[in-house]
Structures are given as C-alpha cells and as structure tokens.
Amino acid sequence: MRRPTPPRRRAANGAAKQRRSPTLRQERSLLAGGARLVAGMDEVGRGALAGPVSVGVVVVDAATRTAPQGLTDSKLLTPAARVAMVPQLQRWGVAWAVGHAGPAEIDAHGIVAALRLAGRRALAQVRRTCGDVDVVLLDGSHDWLSRGDVDLFEAAALDPMGPGAPEPGVRTLVKADLQCSSVAAASVLAKVERDGLLVRLARQYPAFAWDQNKGYSAPAHLDALRRHGPTPQHRRSWNLRALADDAGSPEQVAPAATLDADLADTTRDGMMAP
C-alpha cells in the first residue's frame, strides 16, 4: 500500500512566517483614546561619522487610511524603492517633515541632544501645517525627544518649538518602524532626505565616497580619513583622530561651507494631504 505523504515541515528559521507590514493599530488606539493627531517619528544617521543626524515625522488622524502598499522600515527597502515611495507617503499623512542637526551641533551638544533638536525642528514644521501634535510614537526604548527638567535648549534659546508650545505625549515602542505605519513612513522620508544631503556633500568631498557610504564607517571612508583627515562635515568630537593619525600628517582638505547654518532651512515643510 502507498504510504500517505507526510506533511511538509516548516523551515527551522520560520520561512513560513512572512514579513508583516506595519499597520495603524497603535495609532488608532491612541486616537480612540482621545488624541486628535498622532505622529510617528524615526531617526537616521545616529551612528554615522559625517553628515547630520536626521529625524522624520509623519502625522496621522482618525481619517487617515491604510498606508501605501509595500511600506516597511526603510532599512528593509532598496534605495530605489524608498525613493519611489516618497511621493505616496507625502500625500498619505496629514503632514510630514524631516528635521536635521548638523555635525557642529552634534559636537557642541552631544548626539542625544542633537536628536532632540532635529526631532523638534521636524515637529515645529508640521505644527505650522496641522497644529499641535498630541502624541508622538517614537521608535526604540528611550525618549530622546522630550525636554528634561534642566534643558539646554531653554538656556541656549535653541528649541525650535518656541516658548509656551505644548509638549506632546511620547510613547516609545521597540521595533515601532516594523509595527507602526506612521513610524515606518517617517523612517523612509528621513532616510531619503539624509541620503540626498550626503550625495550633494560628496561632490564637495569626493575622496570620502559619501554618495556610496552616506557618512558611515565604510572602508573607503575610513581610508580617506587616514589620508586626508576630517572635513568640516565630520563629527570631530567623535574618535576620528586615531584614524587620521594612522596616516601620519594628513593632507589638508580644502574648506567648504558647512551645512550647519543651513540645516534648519533645509527642513522640509509638512504637506497637507489632498
């Protein structure tokens, strides 16, 4: 007699598990709890050696529909797919923006404070378009957006939100860029925006191949640091000197205007969905 065919075994790595698309489940829960506007926020460039740290924000409300098909964390999309998705995401949410903090600001205030500055620049932009955001969904487990009791922005008059602006509530969620559509959309917009800035900077400093490595510690970037030393676009408070010293006396790179003075102006305005 013919034996019955045994059931197929699932792959040990869970191949049967398909990658889940992010949803608006978390956002709709907050909206049902009384929030009028919920914003997803994500950062890119935190670990780079050069260029700004950038923070994207996308605002949704109760009328926001399901996100465009194919949306997921920016790291899981090809560069071409990210760029192709940008116009859809800009039309999808109630408002969107990308804020930046440049290398000099990172050196002056530290990376966490620079993240806060970039995030609050993005919030200030969407505030002009749709008003105050009630809750921000933040990827990760640490709230780097909210102001502390002793805040350097108040002392230095740097807070883009301005005096008297209401503080949004912040909800942190690990892997929010994989679970929440608004956070995933923010990650894509921030990634595409920052990549574009690094491609333009690569024309001023072609030896560092920023059009390829986007300011991260790729071999070509590290080799150029050894040969030429840091540029005005490098985060000089980071441990770059050891790399430059390996090459002895580095050549001087011709100075160029830094982006820091212009980064606030390059923050994109939030755009209302039609």
Three-class HEC string of 189-231: HHHHHHHHHHHHHHHHCHHHCHHHHCCCCCHHHHHHHHHHCCC
DSSP 29: H
Average of per-residue pLDDT values in the chain: 83
Query: At 262, which helix (H) or strand (E)?
Result: none
pLDDT of residue 240: 77
> What burial class does residue 31 get, using C-beta atoms within 10 Å of its C-beta: 0-12 exposed, 13-18 middle, 19+ buried?
buried
Q: How far apart are CA 35 and CA 61, in angstroms?
A: 8
Higher-confidence residue of 33 and 9: namely: 33
- The predicted pLDDT at position 148 comes to 67
Q: Does residue 250 register a pLDDT over 80?
A: no
What torsion, rounded to 10 degrees, do the Cα atoms 240, 243, 246, 250 define?
A: -60
Q: How many Å apart are CA 39 and CA 137, to the nearest integer?
A: 6
Please state the φ and ψ torsions of residue 95, each to the nearest 5 degrees. -160, 160
- Sheet of 38-44, strand order: 95-101, 53-60, 38-44, 135-139, 169-173
Q: What is d(CA 103, CA 267) in angstroms, rounded to the nearest whole number?
A: 15
pLDDT band of residue 212 (cuts 50, 70, 90) is very high
For residue 173, with 0-12 CB atoms within 10 Å meaning exposed, 13-18 middle and 19 or more buried, which class applies?
A: middle
Kindly state the DSSP code that residue 182 receives in the 8-state scheme.
H
Which neighbouring-strand residues pair with 172? 138
Per-residue pLDDT averaged across 206-230, rounded? Answer: 94
Task: Let me know how long the chain is.
Answer: 274
Res. 147 pLDDT band, cuts 50 70 90: confident
For residue 3, pLDDT over 70 is answered with no
Question: Per the structure block, which two tokens stand in for 270?
Answer: 């939030």
Tell me how far apart the alpha carbons of residues 204 and 215 are, in angstroms, rounded to a whole number: 13
Name every residue whose Cβ is closer than 8 Å to that of residue 121 and which is 6 or more positions away in sequence. Answer: 55, 97, 99, 100, 101, 160, 264, 267
Round to whole Å and give the CA distance between 42 and 263: 18
pTM over 0.85: no
DSSP strand pairing (135-139 vs 95-101): unpaired
